[in-house]
Structure 1
Amino acid sequence: MNWFPQYNFILASKSPRRQQLLKSLNIDFDVITKEVDEIYPEGLQREEIPVFLAELKSKPFIPELSDEDLLITADTVVCLGNSVLGKPRDYDEAFAMLENLSGKEHQVITGVCISSNKKMNSFYSLSNVRFKKLLRPEIEYYITEFKPYDKAGAYGIQEWIGTIGITHIEGSFYNVMGLPIQKLYEEIQKF
């Protein structure tokens, strides 16, 4: 059964994890991306940052959407206290991020924007995640083997570091992967 027959879905994301998660809804979609500078204004609350960026990613597409198109954009940030961790630029930055997350609870917030050529709906999902105290060799091995430079907070929950390091999660597991798929399903039904 197709739950959303009236839409041509477009996912504007290069992320294989987001593509995999959207496929789990058993809908057909196209992946189309456009380069956007992921810069947000100072003064935003941490929950507002990924929503702002998801909306920013949708804007170049809006004039091109037909009446049947439904665009999905998303952005994920990792927050430790008041610090917002994006994607690490290099090994040293990835190491510093994971060392800071070690033994602590942090928040993963994904902002999602659903757009048509007539309207836009945005929302976010927040999950609390706790790492065990990570050993230096564990962090070094993970960064060397998995190269998490395309991941907010320098880790993927579904990868080795998540398997051996995450002791507790409160909220959506899929949100931590980069797309709160259950909430997205509900929001598309309401759209």
Structure 2
Amino acid sequence: MGSSPFNMRSLFALILLVVQTATALKFDLPASSGGNERCIRNFVAKDQLVVVTAIVGGSKGDGQKVNMHIKDSMGNDHGRPKDIVGEVRQAFTSTADTAFDVCLTNQLVGRSGSNTPFRDIELDVEIGADARDWSSIQAQEKLKPVETDLRRIEEMVADIVTEMDYLRAREQRLRDTNESTNERVKWFAFGTMGMLVGLGAWQVVYLRAYFRSKHLI
């Protein structure tokens, strides 16, 4: 019994809904004279495109200054836009499997009309297939909307497979390290026990020789 076109379209629409559902992170960032900082951490695989989009509320001259700093755990800087108002976008390609931080700082630089000044922040981080400009790809390659969506899903699945392969390899390395450590601990314990037994035997022999020399036994 074959599936009806309606059911196939419904299933495809559901897949697209699940894949495309993504919400940006929204929060309020209070200002302080020392600079109130908030960081968001993500993981990225090697050679993946990352696009960071920040939408900052407020206006110039309201006594607040929002700066953004994107950095990874390898010590690389990927952008330092300053005094952000409105939308700013930073893109980079990762050079290694690493974690990266998107840090936003709100510094109080002048008088504000509020006793507790803050800026509205909307932060969106897109990685891999999500970060690509699919509208441009569709126009360049003259793809139909369904073909574009299929391409996007295919690349997202490829990203997931790549990440799973990385996690599998990492788990293998951790397991090998754990087994190696257990083996070393076992032989260290055996060596320690052998040294203690040898020391005990030596003490017995030494004490017997000592007492014999004193004619006590």
- Structure number with the higher helix fraction is 2
Indicate the structure (1 or 2) with the bigger Cα radius of gyration: 2
TM-score range, shorter chain: under 0.3
TM-score (normalizing by structure 2):
0.22
